[in-house]
Amino acid sequence: MPKSIPWHKVRHGLILAPNWVGDVVMSLPALEALRRALPATQLSIAARDHLLPVLQAAQLQFALHSLPSQPGLGSLTALRRALRGQRPDLSIAFPNSFHAGLLLAASGASIRAGYARDGRNFLLSHPVTITSPRAPGQTHESFYYFDLLRKLGLIEQLPQETHAQLLADESLVEQWNARLGASRPRVAIHAGASFGGAKRWLPERFLELGWQLQQRQHAQIILIGSAAERALATEIASGLQPLRTVNLAGQTSLPQLLALLGGCDLAICNDSGPMHLAAALGTPVVALFGPTNYLETFPLLPPSSPANQVDLVRAEGIECSPCKLRECPIDHRCMTSLTTAMVLAAAENMLARTAPRA
């Protein structure tokens, strides 16, 4: 265990947020617990600029500081500028990288805490050893952040379960409703995954799935994704009914994407950032898992949402899964084993048991 921290003396604390959309969402329960543990402390979060809309949608009681999207000297300069000479007493890194350790040092905090990873121990005043393996029921990544707080003495025990909640900008939701019309059900499909191709289900099966939902459920299919995934979405859109298909990949800001997902009746995604966003917004989700461990990264729901609002579709008995590789070196069997019929059944069952979203 790291040496004891005099929490009653901490007046200003800085948290470095994770660097991926999904990781930020999975860190939200721990951030809320940190706020409850230090109610009188001035707390702020430093995050890459493209991730700030997620933290804003979480409506946390933290000040937010913007860092460049790419790590480097610019991040160190941006952090010093954001702090404006107000050196925090405490800085905690949620990311594991050496660069996050450098940012803690740049903050000037006397208490610098984080996991003992990536050769950065000398940059930390309170390096924390990782517990591995984690206890049953605590394998989800959200507990990774909770356990850091527990070992630092901020919380006594881990929660039984974790939740995350995001709130979309209602004015943007109304703008999407006006643009997309009254056609329901409205189904968002994210066929990409920024981590790598191994997490992606086959484009031709997404196409077949969308076509079946249009034929059988009269669904409006909304294709989402980054600018880098625009060609993938266009390939899928080419085989769908034009009047019931909208390709928005690469055409939405993160606040717009949050509002779009918040107004959908269903989101069908690979294990990706949009999967986590949709679930935390309270939108029903069908999530496709293959090379990643679903027990570690399943999407978190708001506290008020029923557990059956998320359906995880995965193939059983795949001996090499989860491999956690970016690209499959063999035949991608963990994803090719997911048939269109399997995902269609999950989607239709979800639509049948969840009320239409106004």
The more confidently predicted of residues 356 and 210 is: 210
Q: Whole-angstrom Cα distance, residue 350 to residue 358?
A: 16
Domain locations in the chain as residue ranges:
7-151, 170-353
Q: What is the pTM of this model?
A: 0.95
Percent of the chain with pLDDT over 70: 98
Which letter, b or e, does each residue of 55-76 get, where b requires 16 or more Cβ atoms within 10 Å of its Cβ? bbbbebebeebbbbeebeeebb
Instruction: Report the pLDDT value the prediction gives residue 317, as an integer from 0 to 100.
Output: 87
**What CATH superfamily classification does 170-353 receive?**
Glycogen Phosphorylase B; (3.40.50.2000)
Q: Inform me whether the pLDDT recorded for 358 exceeds 70.
A: no
**What CATH superfamily classification does 7-151 receive?**
Glycogen Phosphorylase B; (3.40.50.2000)
Q: Inform me whether the pLDDT recorded for 172 exceeds 60.
A: yes
Q: Inform me whether the pLDDT recorded for 357 exceeds 70.
A: no
Tokens of 43: 């707390």
Read off the pLDDT of residues 299-351 as tens digits, 9 standing for 90 and up: 999 999 999 999 999 988 888 998 988 998 898 899 999 999 999 999 999 99
Q: What is the mean pLDDT of residues 208-228?
A: 97
Q: Inform me whether the pLDDT recorded for 180 exceeds 90.
A: yes
pLDDT-derived band at 21, boundaries 50, 70, 90: very high
* 3-state secondary structure (DSSP) of residue 230: helix
Percent of the chain with pLDDT over 90: 81
Read off the pLDDT of residues 235-267 as tens digits, 9 standing for 90 and up: 999 999 999 999 999 999 999 999 999 999 999
Q: Inform me whether the pLDDT recorded for 8 exceeds 90.
A: no
Name 270's bridge partners. 288
Angle between helices 254-262 and 170-180 (to 10 degrees): 70
Contacts made by residues 226-233, CB under 8 angstroms, sequence distance 24+? 226/192, 226/194, 226/250, 228/192, 228/194, 229/191, 229/192, 232/191, 232/192, 232/203, 233/191, 233/192
| Cβ-contact 113, 129 below 8 angstroms | no
Instruction: Report the pLDDT value the prediction gives residue 80, as an integer from 0 to 100.
Output: 87
Q: Do the strands 266-270 and 245-247 form a parallel or antiparallel pair, or are they unpaired?
A: unpaired
Q: In which element (H, E) is residue 127 found?
A: strand 126-128
Tokens of 172: 């943007």
Q: Inform me whether the pLDDT recorded for 293 exceeds 60.
A: yes
Instruction: Report the pLDDT value the prediction gives residue 356, as an integer from 0 to 100.
Output: 63
